[in-house]
């Protein structure tokens, strides 16, 4: 079983527009992944509690103003993952990984 927790502090980098479109937002999501029970097991079957810690900048750009309480936006960023022993072993023995991502987001 995996337990994951995180926070995403951020700030608006533009002003809200008069038409209701929200500001561009720059944030720094962070997450911690821990094994609660048999999630990050090593080759010998030992459960390793620390799985990963990740953080990296994220930019969110609204596509339209909020209508009926729904806001569409695009986002993208780069994450740096710091891996525990078991994920490191599965990642060619590299303790870090850099991942870029992009997506479409619906907020309500």
pLDDT at 5 > cutoff 90: yes
DSSP letter (8 states) at residue 63 = -
Contacts of 68 (CB under 8 A, 6+ apart): none
pLDDT tens-place string over residues 10-63: 999 988 777 767 789 999 999 999 999 988 888 888 888 999 999 999 999 998
Pairing state between β 30-35 and 71-83 = unpaired
CA–CA distance, 14 with 37 (Å, rounded to integer): 44
pLDDT of residue 107: 83
CA–CA distance, 62 with 105 (Å, rounded to integer): 9
Share the mean pLDDT of the chain: 91
CA–CA distance, 105 with 72 (Å, rounded to integer): 6
pTM: 0.82
DSSP letter (8 states) at residue 71 = E
pLDDT at 96 > cutoff 90: yes
pLDDT of residue 20: 66
């Amino acid at each position: 079983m995996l337990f994951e927790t995180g926070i995403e502090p951020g700030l608006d980098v533009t002003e809200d527009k008069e038409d209701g479109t929200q500001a561009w937002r720059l944030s720094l999501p962070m997450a911690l992944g821990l094994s609660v029970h048999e999630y990050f097991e090593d080759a010998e079957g030992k459960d390793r509690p620390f799985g990963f810690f990740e953080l990296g900048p994220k930019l969110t750009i609204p596509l339209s103003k909020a209508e009926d309480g729904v806001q569409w936006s695009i986002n993208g960023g780069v994450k740096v993952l710091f891996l525990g022993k078991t994920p490191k072993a599965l990642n060619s023995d590299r303790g870090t990984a850099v991942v870029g991502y992009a997506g479409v987001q619906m907020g309500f």
